[in-house]
């Protein structure tokens, strides 16, 4: 169960703990023509169960509702590539993504979009998963950060 939806980081309202995780794992180099954001989610499920889904580079549809299908090339190690089909209603139908980093001890996954029929250029993301206590029970803090080029004709806010 999710306690809140994704929140775009604006520098206000995050606990010191969340800010420390963002600073430690989610400091991305953002160039002049790029934008970035960090998204935070609190889940009332133990970290080992959440990580068992998030780490599955071959099955993003298990936790990303906009993904309808995924086919992986490679052995699910760093460098593996997946072809993701996106559900209708989004401005894309496919995305080709490469696994850049996977750390099961620290619960970190990083990927980069390397192709597809969308406007996302130089998109890379980092997802980290952290244990926390929610209402006295084991829960999970998930943070996802990304950086991407701002498409021609768009503003950073639109992107």
Domain range list for the chain: 34-158
Q: Phi, psi at residue 156, to the nearest 5°?
A: -60, -40
Model pTM score: 0.84
Nearest 5 degrees, angle CA 12-CA 18-CA 21?
A: 125
Q: Write out the CATH class of domain 34-158.
A: alpha beta
Q: How far apart are CA 115 and CA 53, in angstroms?
A: 24
Per-residue pLDDT of the chain (159 residues; tens, 9 = 90+): 333 333 333 344 568 888 888 888 888 888 889 999 889 999 999 999 999 999 999 999 998 889 999 999 988 899 999 999 998 766 788 999 999 999 999 999 999 999 999 888 999 999 999 999 999 999 999 999 999 999 888 888 887
């Amino acid at each position: 169960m999710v306690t809140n939806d994704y929140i775009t980081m604006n520098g206000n309202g995050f606990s010191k703990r969340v800010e420390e995780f963002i600073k430690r794992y989610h400091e991305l180099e953002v160039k002049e023509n790029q934008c970035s954001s960090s998204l935070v989610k609190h889940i009332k499920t133990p970290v080992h169960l959440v990580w068992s889904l998030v780490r599955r580079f071959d099955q993003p549809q298990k936790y990303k509702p906009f993904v309808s299908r995924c086919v992986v090339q490679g052995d699910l190690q760093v460098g593996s590539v997946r072809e993701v089909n996106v559900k209708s209603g989004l401005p894309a139908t496919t995305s080709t993504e490469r696994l850049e980093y996977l750390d099961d001890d620290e619960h970190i996954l990083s990927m980069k979009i390397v192709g597809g029929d969308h406007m996302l250029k130089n998109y890379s993301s980092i997802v980290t998963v952290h244990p926390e206590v929610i209402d006295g029970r084991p829960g999970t803090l998930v943070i996802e950060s990304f950086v991407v080029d701002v498409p021609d004709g768009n503003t950073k806010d639109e992107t």
